[in-house]
Structure 1
Amino acid sequence: MKVGMFHLMILFQGISETTTQGTAFVAGMAELRCKVNNTEQLDVDRISYHWQKETSTGPEAMFEKTHNKLVKENVHKKFLNRTMILNTNWDLYLYNITIEDEGKYSCHIILKRQKWDGIHRSTFVLKVIANFSTPEIVMFPKQVNTTDLLKLECSSKHGYPKPGRMDWIVSNSTGKYNIPHIPLIAQDEVSKMYNISSNISLLITENTKVTCELLSENNVISTVTEIGMDDLNPILPMKPSNDLIYISIVPAFLILIVGFIYLKWRMKKPTSVASSQSRMRHSALPAESNDENDYPRSPCTALQHTPLCDLNPQNSSIRGTNEHLRESEEPMVTGNS
């Protein structure tokens, strides 16, 4: 309520007003100037003095001193233990600056005579700055062919306020060239700081020097990146990955196994046919008898000479047996006949 009362009282006639502005860096200190003249004539015991920040939702009390005594009840919590007053000129120091501290502040001094009379009001506009990091240039890919475009990226981080643009400076034997470029800008939702990046593609045919410059509240330029022709190595053939090697080896190995099994089967097939034919021939012959007086019943056991029996070498033993039988059956000739 006091803040509102003070805000109305300063409208009285005779009040002096000033407007100033200044800058402060994030995490640093800001000096909010009140610009009061003839402060030595002011009786601190008769003065009520306070600072407030002007916002869209209303003033936020930062510092208050009445009859030379501090009053903390009305101070907004985000300004507690962050301020210090200078009684010599009624300026206020604000510490641990954040981006949210940017804005408009007002200083009010009210003198008590027969009633509270506003005698001074000052407005101070604070601008907060966060320096961007030194821009860094990265080449993609690191190894290029002289016939390919070289992609370059320049980036800078953690700056405020929003930057304007990022320019490229390219120089070679033909001259120095400034290449403006619209960068990609992103703001962090928590810190409210900005990150910026820019990409260009260049055809490198000779020794070249490249830099990039960030145009912001405080312009920042990168270090010089020198691209020499000796540094441009040809692109090597891409080596096949292990996955491709496995994919090609496994089918070949399977084909080799199947081929080996098939060859083995083909080598065994003639023997099996010969065995089948042998079994068929033996099944056509009569079974052997255990009686020694029985003759074999094969056609070749008869006292006949057939071409089949003569040509088959397996029947040589049978022919011998038949010839022996014929000799035994011939009549024995004696000398008396």
Structure 2
Amino acid sequence: MYTMNWKILVLSMMATLLVANATKSEVEAFYNETANLPCDFKNPQNFSQEELVIFWQGARDDVLYELYRGREKQIHVHANYINRTKFNQTTWILHLLNVQITDQGKCTCFVQHLGPKGLVIIHQLSFQLSVLAPFSQPEITRLDNKTAEIGEILNFSCSSKQGYPKPEKIYWIVETTNSTQYPGEIHLSQDDTNQLYYVTTALSLPITESTIWINITCFLKTQGPVELLTSETLQIKMKPHEELDSNFVIPGVIVVLVLTVVLLIILRVLPLKKCSHLCDKREATRVKTEDTDHPKERDEALESLSYQMCEKRGDR
């Protein structure tokens, strides 16, 4: 049976207890800003830095930073984190610069003691790094050029961009004589380069007879520091019904009446002129017949026809 150095045994027991209990829930950081990654090592044994190896490991087991026996060592550091970290030896906090969406996930700080038997983990702290990118102020856009008239359906869109994580909810408040909330269907697209989201939704609004004015506002509920983002209110006034001016109606009616009278006169005069022309033609025919000694029977037939037409003209 072999014996173990009592100091190493104590350190191992301490490490086991520390590893089991050293867990921090979450660290939040803003996109493109600095994240403060804790370690919370108290160094109860007052080890010198030359006896310690300290490093942070990211979500994909990438090494973010390593301090090996008091000196920074980059041989194990992932290329994405070279020149992006600063270690504060007083507070034991690692500052991660220019935070990206891809940095989020589970992170762990390890502290190892270098003793006669090699490296032994004496401290470990795990936490979730969450990255937030505030969405832009929602913006309402008209999707048509229709006039706000009764019976029309007006179409709008509301959009916000460059945010992370996904928004929780988007909705509209439409104010007329009463206020009505309309839920919005979230449509998301994600930038392949920075992983930020662009969100949009649409609204179709029918115009009814009771509509006089409309105020439309779009709201976006997010998981960022400002949980509810509000657009500027879009104000729409209804187009009034076009009523004919009385100064225009009366002259218009007079013109219509005059035109109607003129048309009736024309319809009366034209048939009379036609009958007069036929009667004149009958007289000319009779004279010509007399001159050319046409048979009397034909003259009598023409005279009878002309007489009937002229009688009708006289009746009118």
What is the TM-score when the length of structure 1 is the normalising length? Answer: 0.61
Displacement of 1:13: 3.0
Which residue in the other structure is 1:314 paired with? none
> Which residue is 1:309 aligned to?
none
- In 2, the alpha carbon distance for the partners of 1:96 and 1:215 equals 26
- Flag the 1:145–1:47 CA change in 2: closer, same or farther, 3 A: closer
Name 1:275's counterpart in structure 2.
none
Distance 2:83 2:44 in 1: 25
Q: Contact conserved, 1:39 with 1:89, CA < 8 A, in 2? A: no
1:217 matched to 2:226? The reply is no
Separation in structure 1 between the aligned mates of residue 70 and residue 44 of structure 2, nearest angstrom:
14
Is residue 2:27 matched to residue 1:60? no
What SS does the aligned partner of 1:157 have?
A: strand
Deviation at 1:160, TM superposition (A): 1.1
Distance (whole Å) between structure 2 residues aligned to residue 78 and residue 60 of structure 1: 9
Residue 14 of structure 1: CA displacement? 1.8
Match among 187, 191, 195 for residue 190 of structure 2: 187
Q: What do residues 112-147 of structure 1 show as CA deviations (whole Å, max 9, x unaligned)?
A: 343333210001211111111111101232441412
Q: Equivalent residue for 1:136? A: 139
- Tell me how far apart the structure 2 counterparts of residues 203 and 47 of structure 1 sit (CA, whole Å): 71
Which residue of the other structure, out of 107, 115, 121, is the alignment partner of 2:124?
A: 121
Q: What are the Cα deviations for residues 251-289 of structure 1, in whole angstroms up to 9, with x where unaligned?
A: xxxxxxxxxxxxxxxxxxxxxxxxxxxxxxxxxxxxxxx
* C-alpha separation in 1, matches of 2:157 and 2:241: 20
Give SS of 2:80's match: helix
Shift of 1:154: 0.6
CA contact (8 A) 1:34 1:124 kept: no
Q: Distance in 2 between matches of 1:114 and 1:180?
A: 66
TM normalised by structure 2 equals 0.64
Contact 1:52 1:61 in 2 (8 A): yes
Please list every run of 5 or more consecutive structure 1 residues that lacks an aligned counterpart in the other structure.
Answer: 1-10, 235-337
Q: For residues 190-216 of structure 1, what are the alpha-carbon distances to aligned partners after superposition, in whole Å with 9 as ceiling and x for unaligned?
A: 221111111111124121211111122
Aligned equivalent of 1:171, options 154, 157, 175: 175
In the alignment of these two chains, the number of paired residues is 219
Q: Which deviations, in whole Å up to 9, do the C-alpha atoms of 1:230-260 show, x marking residues without a partner? A: 5x899xxxxxxxxxxxxxxxxxxxxxxxxxx
Question: 1:107 & 1:91 partners in 2: Cα distance?
Answer: 10
Q: Deviations over 1:61-100 (max 9, x none)?
A: 1111122111111111110000011112311100011111
From the superposition, tell whether residues 152 and 40 of structure 1 become closer, same or farther in structure 2 (CA, over 3 Å): farther
For 1:162, which of 163, 166, 177 is the aligned residue? 166
Q: Percent identity?
A: 30
Equivalent position of 1:226 in the other structure = 235
Inter-partner Cα distance in structure 2 for 1:223 and 1:40: 59
> Is 1:200 matched up with 2:203?
yes
Unmatched 5+ stretches in structure 2: 1-10, 243-316
Q: Give the number of the structure whose alpha-carbon radius of gyration is greater.
A: 1
